Each structure stands twice: as structure tokens, then as C-alpha cells.
């Protein structure tokens, strides 16, 4: 009798393991939910609200995500489900397969409701507070110089790419390197176009019409590089900290780990903390100190610095830190596919990417991204960072398309915990590039 019960128990466990679940929901039940959502979309009755947009993003994210994580080669070298969600949803918009009302709902969700900002704020707070204080202090000292060396590497390799394709070095520096390494569109290419106009007397639209497609190509290349670096880390473990930037030597990085039992109360407190830190960053960037030395400082840049300072001086209780970390893990684990669909729909113009694809642009962009990776990996190692994490954050997150590009790169690299350092690159690094741009434009024009 006991043997029979034991056999049944084992069979039950095997059956449970074989059962495919999506977001923890059995596949047949999820299929019903997906059919309802797709039906509402086709019928044109999907609400233009957070509910309708979340429903569409959850379904598309799950479909693309599950498929992308199972496609050989794609799942290891191109970025898996996260990148298929990003590109697949962008294609649905480009080909007009996605109904206009669904596009509108997701765009409102991402831009007007601004779920992307909440997502990034939660990730910054949780990931920065989870970093060992000693490691964090070491990282902040060496990180900005590593970013600058990545820019130097991008310039050198970009010049080589220009020589190969016959593009003058001055054009490579001003029209390729600066926009690619400039921190994205809103905080990079747009203000850079105004600097271009003010310094050269040229039309800012002329700069933007060329810069936007170029940095879009570089963004895609950066995503592919991220997936390759992740695979390299699996092959050569000595090169990676598996999501940790700083090589820990001379002390035990586990000293500050906590065994506190985290409840829903602490997770809720983590959300309050994340929102509070974002609002403090907003206050600094909009009212108290909007710019330093004429360079505008982004809200996320202030947020990263403030959370880092609060962590280093240890004024936030441990249970709040752990709650914020738990919330960050939930967001990065359960909402990554959702956010990648949103980025693909609301922030990606596939037609723009296709129009800019030619041999010259792709070769030069690839050389620039390679230079950023090499410069940050080598210099990062010298200042105590793991080469792969250094290349991903200080290199690729400078060469991508800002905040949405950071998420795509970290998703492909499977290192979402590095979001805080990615934001330093996109925000502070982007500000540094505006200063460099004003100098370069003044020297060359």
C-alpha cells in the first residue's frame, strides 16, 4: 500500500514538473486569457488604460518571451525572450498587424502613465541599496573614469571604421561617435543637436535626421553584444562577477547580507522608498540644482547618486533595504517581458532602423560599440571591476539608446541588477558627452 502511494506521489510530481506554466498559470488557462485579450484587441474594445495596456503587454510578453527563451542560438547569443518581445512587438506596429487602439493603449501606458519611470525607479532603488556599501564606494570612484575611457575607445575604433569605409574622421567623431555615446535621444541627441546648431550655425534637424537612425543601429548592435558578453561570461567565468561589478578583494562582500524575514509590509515600504527617492531626484533636477557647470543633470542621475549616498552612510534601516530589493527582484523578474513589449511599441521605429541600414553605417557603428566595450573592459579591470560587467554598464549602456536601451541591453545580458550603473552611464555619462560635444563641435567647425 505504502509503495503504491509512493509511486503515485512520484508520478504526480513528474506530471507537475511537465506541466507548462506561464506567469505561474497553467498553459490551457493562460491560453483562454490570451484569447480574450487578443479578441478584445481585434474587436477594437481594448481599453486605453493601464488595465488594457497591461493585458496586451502581459500576453504579448509571455508569447514572445516563452518562444524567445526556447529558440536555439537566439536564446543564448541574441537575448532570448526579452529581445524577441522588443523586436517582435516593434514589428507588429511596423507591419500594422497590431490594431491602432492597442498601440495607443500601450503608448499611453508607457509615455503618459509613465510605467517605464516607475519600473526604472524601483530597479534603481532596489539594486543600489542591495550593493555592499564597501563595494559601492569603490565602484563610484572608478566608474566615471571607466566611462571616459570607453568614449576614448569608441573614438579610436570609430576612426578605424571611418578609414575602412572612406568616411572622414571628423564626420565619424561628430556624426557617429557623439550621438551613439550621447545617452540616448531625449537626454543625448536632442540637446546635442542644439549644441551643434549653436556652435556651428547649422540646422539641428540636419544633425538629428542623421543621428537618430545611427544611434538606433548602435542600440541594436549593443543588445547583440550584451548577449554575446553574457555567453562569454559563461564560457570564461573568471571574466565576470555574474551581475557584480566590483571584484571583491580584501574583505568579505557577504558581511552585510541579511537573514531578515521580509513580509508584504517591507515590500510595500520598499515601494514608498522608491517613489520617495524618485521625487527627491525630481526636486533636485527641477528646482534645487537643475544643472552643474551648464550641464543639465537628469532626475535618474540624481536619484542614483542620492540612493548611493544613503546606502554608503547607512541611514536606511536594513528591513527597508531588503524590502526594496525584494520589490526590485519582483519587477525585474515578472515585468521585464512586459516592459520590453512596451518599449518595442512606444519607443521603437522599425522603419527608421531599416532605412538607416547600409554597410557604411553598420560597420562604423559596430566599430564604435566595439571600441566602447574594449576601452571599458580593459580600464575597468585595471580599476578593480569585472571586465564583462564593466563593458556592459560603462560601455554598452553608453552606446545604447538611453533608458529603454539600458533595459534591452541588461535584459539581453541577463544582468538587470546592474541598472543603477547603467543609469549612471546613460544620465551622468550622457551629461559628460554634452560637454565633450560642445568642445568637439567648437574645435572641428
Tell me the mean pLDDT in the region 313-325.
Answer: 90
Tell me the mean pLDDT in the region 164-184.
Answer: 90
The residue that leads in pLDDT, 363 or 214, is: 363
Say whether pLDDT at 79 is over 80.
Answer: no
The pLDDT-based confidence of 18 (bands split at 50, 70, 90) is: low
DSSP code at position 416: G
Q: How far apart are CA 5 and CA 13, in angstroms?
A: 12
pLDDT in tens, 282-303: 999 899 988 777 667 778 878 8
At residue 250, the pLDDT reads: 46
pTM: 0.71
Q: Which residue has the cell 580600464?
A: 379
At residue 157, the pLDDT reads: 97
The secondary element (H helix, E strand) that includes residue 136 is: helix 133-165
At residue 257, the pLDDT reads: 54
CA distances from 377 to 91, 177, 384, 391, 444 (A): 33, 18, 11, 5, 29
CB 287: neighbour CB atoms within 10 A? 8
The domain segmentation of the chain, as residue ranges, is 20-114, 116-444
pLDDT in tens, 397-419: 999 877 778 888 998 899 988 88
Residue 291 β-bridge partners: 296
Tell me the mean pLDDT in the region 93-100.
Answer: 95
pLDDT in tens, 330-358: 888 888 889 889 988 988 788 877 877 88
Which residue, 135, 149, 150, is CA-closest to 222? Answer: 150
Cell of 441: 563641435
Q: Helices 336-346 and 80-94, interaxial angle, to 10°?
A: 30
Q: End-to-end alpha-carbon separation of the chain, Å? A: 89
The secondary element (H helix, E strand) that includes residue 226 is: helix 204-235
Amino acid at each position: 500500500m505504502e509503495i503504491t502511494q509512493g509511486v503515485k506521489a512520484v508520478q504526480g510530481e513528474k506530471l507537475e514538473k511537465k506541466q507548462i506554466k506561464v506567469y505561474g498559470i497553467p498553459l490551457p488557462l493562460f491560453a483562454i486569457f490570451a484569447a480574450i485579450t487578443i479578441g478584445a484587441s481585434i474587436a477594437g474594445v481594448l481599453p486605453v488604460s493601464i488595465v488594457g495596456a497591461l493585458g496586451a503587454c502581459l500576453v504579448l510578453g509571455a508569447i514572445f518571451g516563452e518562444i524567445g527563451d526556447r529558440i536555439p542560438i537566439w536564446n543564448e547569443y541574441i537575448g532570448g525572450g526579452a529581445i524577441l518581445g522588443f523586436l517582435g512587438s516593434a514589428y507588429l506596429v511596423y507591419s500594422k498587424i497590431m490594431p491602432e487602439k492597442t498601440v495607443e493603449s500601450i503608448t499611453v501606458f508607457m509615455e503618459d502613465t509613465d510605467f517605464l519611470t516607475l519600473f526604472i525607479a524601483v530597479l534603481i532603488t532596489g539594486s543600489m541599496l542591495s550593493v555592499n556599501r564597501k563595494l559601492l564606494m569603490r565602484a563610484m570612484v572608478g566608474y566615471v573614469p571607466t566611462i571616459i575611457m570607453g568614449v576614448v575607445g569608441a573614438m579610436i575604433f570609430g576612426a578605424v571604421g571611418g578609414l575602412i569605409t572612406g568616411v572622414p574622421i571628423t564626420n565619424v567623431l561628430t556624426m557617429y561617435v557623439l550621438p551613439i555615446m550621447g545617452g540616448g535621444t531625449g537626454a543625448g541627441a536632442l540637446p546635442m543637436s542644439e549644441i551643434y546648431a549653436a556652435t556651428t550655425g547649422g540646422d539641428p534637424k540636419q544633425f538629428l535626421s542623421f543621428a537618430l537612425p545611427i544611434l538606433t543601429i548602435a542600440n541594436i548592435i549593443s543588445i547583440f553584444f550584451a548577449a554575446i558578453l553574457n555567453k562569454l561570461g559563461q564560457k570564461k567565468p573568471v571574466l565576470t562577477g555574474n551581475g557584480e561589478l566590483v571584484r571583491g578583494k580584501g574583505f568579505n562582500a557577504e558581511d552585510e547580507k541579511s537573514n531578515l524575514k521580509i513580509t508584504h509590509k517591507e515590500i510595500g515600504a520598499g515601494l514608498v522608498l522608491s517613489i520617495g527617492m524618485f521625487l527627491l531626484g525630481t526636486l533636485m533636477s527641477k528646482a534645487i540644482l537643475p544643472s552643474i557647470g551648464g550641464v543639465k543633470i537628469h532626475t535618474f542621475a540624481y536619484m542614483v547618486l542620492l540612493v548611493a549616498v544613503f546606502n554608503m552612510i547607512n541611514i536606511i534601516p536594513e528591513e527597508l533595504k531588503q524590502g526594496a530589493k525584494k520589490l526590485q527582484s519582483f519587477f525585474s523578474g515578472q515585468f521585464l517581458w512586459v516592459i520590453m513589449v512596451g518599449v518595442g511599441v512606444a519607443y521603437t521605429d522599425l522603419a527608421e532602423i531599416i532605412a538607416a541600414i547600409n554597410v557604411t553605417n553598420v560597420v562604423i557603428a559596430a566599430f564604435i560599440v566595439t571600441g566602447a566595450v574594449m576601452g571599458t573592459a580593459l580600464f575597468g579591470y585595471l580599476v578593480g571591476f569585472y571586465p564583462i560587467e564593466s563593458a556592459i554598464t560603462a560601455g554598452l549602456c553608453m552606446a545604447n539608446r538611453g533608458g529603454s536601451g539600458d533595459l534591452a541591453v541588461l535584459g539581453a545580458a541577463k544582468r538587470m541588477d546592474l541598472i543603477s550603473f547603467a543609469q549612471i552611464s546613460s544620465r551622468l555619462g550622457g551629461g559628460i558627452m554634452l560637454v565633450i560635444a560642445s568642445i568637439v563641435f567648437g574645435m572641428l567647425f
